[in-house]
Amino acid sequence: MASNLPREVVDSIVAFTSPSTTDLSHLALVSTRFAHSVQSYRSLHLLLSSSTQAQHYLKGLLRKAGQQTQSLTLQRGWRKRVEKVKMGRSKVEREVEDSITEEELVKLCQLSPSITALRLDQLSFTSLRRRQVSFASSLPHLTRLSIIGRLDSNDGGFNLTTVGQILGTLPQLLHLKLRNLRSSPQSLSGLSPPTFHLRFLTLYATPFLHSSQLSWLLDSSTFAESLRTLDFFLPLDVLPSTIHSVYWAPIRVKALYISSANAQAIESMPLHCPHLERLSFESSTRIDARNLLKNALQYRRVKCIRDQSIGEAGGMDLRHVAEGLLIYQRKLRIRKIVIRRGRKEEDGYRELGVVCRDLEVMMEEIDG
């Protein structure tokens, strides 16, 4: 049956399965057509997780495929290698992580000038030398960049100053994801703000960026009103005044995801995003859906509310969601309410189902 599927269907199945490397390997065993499609996909979307793999690539084993690569992911792997180190007058062997190096990153990008997406996922280094930070300037088509530092690093994540130097070479960037950054009040000092116009920003940084650093990061994007999707973590101790410098940044945002234990921050989000249509959140504290829906009356554009909170203490009380819809739905026109699967035994679940049905609001349940 698999051999009768059209090529575009096979390619779509492979692309949908792609986040799981193991599943891709299993899919390649289904048939020759699937095997060819998986091989083609992997050549277009290159993933390397060790220095050994990177060296094989650089030696030319995958050079032909690399020149047409669309995306490149360099991630932390669990492979080890043995190296000799000097201990006193003798040398001893020890096992170390077979991690991708800064030099390999630079060379890999030079050999893949066509890539549009680059992901640096928990690599062993947290900064780059001055001559290395411009590696992205050899990627004229790069519009998506993800930089994820290590939480278990002694340095505490990827260096924000280095990130700033990299961003200064990417005026064409549209999508940016930053996680686990190492920063200080002096980070980014002396650097000119990037000139890109971001459409999508993910920012998970602890400690949270200083107000001036946020302003630096979003300077051109705020002026251009280009942001459409915003995904960020807001620590409980961050005051509204901290992010006031980017008050206008989300003015055109249509989709927003916020993770925070600050219930009032989540409930007030519709007040700060005049064009917001889809609000998703995760919280360890109780969110008052009545306040959230009342605040959505300000602009009346919110169509979907998605509660991805895990745990009994967090997220929306289902009875309050039902009450809020009964009070405000006539003016709001909410189309969908999404909750975590497994809440059928909670008070208000049945009432919410009845209210959603009567008001023609779709009620969807998703895995946590």
d(CA 151, CA 147): 13
Does the N-terminal peptide bond of residue 207 adopt cis geometry, omega within 30 degrees of 0? yes
Residue-level pLDDT at 252:
96
**Which residue type sits at 34?**
F
Query: Which residues are CB-contacts of 330 (< 8 A; sequence separation ≥ 6)?
Result: none
Residue-level pLDDT at 312:
81
Residues 228/257, Cβ–Cβ less than 8 Å = no
- Of the pLDDT bands very low, low, confident and very high (cuts 50, 70, 90), residue 206 is confident
Residue-level pLDDT at 219:
95
pLDDT score of 7 more than 70: no
Q: What is the pLDDT of residues 96-133, one digit of tens each?
A: 788 899 999 998 988 888 899 999 999 988 888 878 88
Residues, the chain: 368
pLDDT score of 155 more than 60: no
- Of the pLDDT bands very low, low, confident and very high (cuts 50, 70, 90), residue 16 is low
pTM reported for the whole predicted model: 0.87
Residues 128/162, Cβ–Cβ less than 8 Å = yes
Q: What is the pLDDT of residues 259-317, one digit of tens each?
A: 999 999 999 999 999 999 999 999 999 999 999 999 999 999 999 999 999 888 899 99
CA distances from 274 to 113, 225, 250, 259, 278 (A): 39, 12, 8, 20, 12
Please spell the DSSP secondary structure of 133-202, one letter per residue: GGGGGG-TT--EEEEE--TT-TT-SEEHHHHHHHHTT-TT--EEEEESEE--TTTTTTPPPP----SEEE
- Of the pLDDT bands very low, low, confident and very high (cuts 50, 70, 90), residue 61 is low
pLDDT score of 64 more than 70: no
Joined together, the tokens standing for residue 98 give 């077979």
Bridge pairing between strands 144-148 and 117-121: parallel
Residue-level pLDDT at 334:
97
Residue-level pLDDT at 37:
56
- Of the pLDDT bands very low, low, confident and very high (cuts 50, 70, 90), residue 232 is very high
Please spell the DSSP secondary structure of 194-224, one letter per residue: P----SEEEEE-SSPPPHHHHHHHTHHHHHH
Mean of the per-residue pLDDT values of the chain: 86
Which tops the pLDDT comparison, 17 or 93?
93
pLDDT score of 241 more than 90: no
Q: What is the pLDDT of residues 26-57, one digit of tens each?
A: 655 556 666 555 566 666 778 899 998 898 88
Residues 360/327, Cβ–Cβ less than 8 Å = no
User: What is the Rg, in whole angstroms, of the alpha carbon atoms belonging to the chain?
Assistant: 24
CA distances from 118 to 46, 114, 174 (A): 10, 11, 12
By CB atoms closer than 10 A (0-12, 13-18, 19+), residue 301 is middle
Q: What is the pLDDT of residues 329-340, one digit of tens each?
A: 999 999 999 999
Which parts of the chain fold into alpha helices (H)? 7-17, 21-27, 32-44, 51-58, 63-66, 102-110, 160-167, 211-217, 219-224, 263-267, 269-272, 289-296, 318-332, 349-359
